[in-house]
């Protein structure tokens, strides 16, 4: 599964599911490969920085990397 994010500014961003349930994020020539625990930590950081609430609610994992 892959999702294209197109903001009409610059190169589109693609988010693709990996076999281990992590993701690969592609934009232009840049690629970020995240394992499931890394993805969770990145999402937590984004929610914290943007002040948005986490839609995962009580299923949220730790944000400090100390599982």
The predicted-structure confidence for 11-41, as pLDDT tens digits, reads as follows 999 999 999 999 999 999 999 999 999 999 9
φ, ψ for residue 8, nearest 5 deg: 65, 15
Domains in the chain: boundaries? 2-54
Do residues 39 and 47 make contact, with C-beta atoms less than 8 angstroms apart?
no
Do residues 14 and 31 make contact, with C-beta atoms less than 8 angstroms apart?
no
Do residues 44 and 60 make contact, with C-beta atoms less than 8 angstroms apart?
yes
pTM for this one? 0.69
**Centroid of chain to Cα 15:** 8
- CA 30, CA 13: separation in Å to the nearest integer? 10
47-63, pLDDT tens digit by residue? 999 998 877 764 554 44
């Amino acid at each position: 599964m892959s999702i294209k994010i197109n903001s009409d500014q610059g190169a589109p961003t693609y988010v693709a599911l990996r076999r281990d349930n992590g993701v690969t994020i592609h934009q232009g020539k840049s690629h970020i490969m995240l394992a499931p625990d890394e993805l969770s930590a990145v999402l937590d950081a984004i929610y914290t920085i943007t002040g948005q609430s986490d839609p995962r609610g009580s299923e949220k994992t730790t944000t400090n990397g100390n599982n």
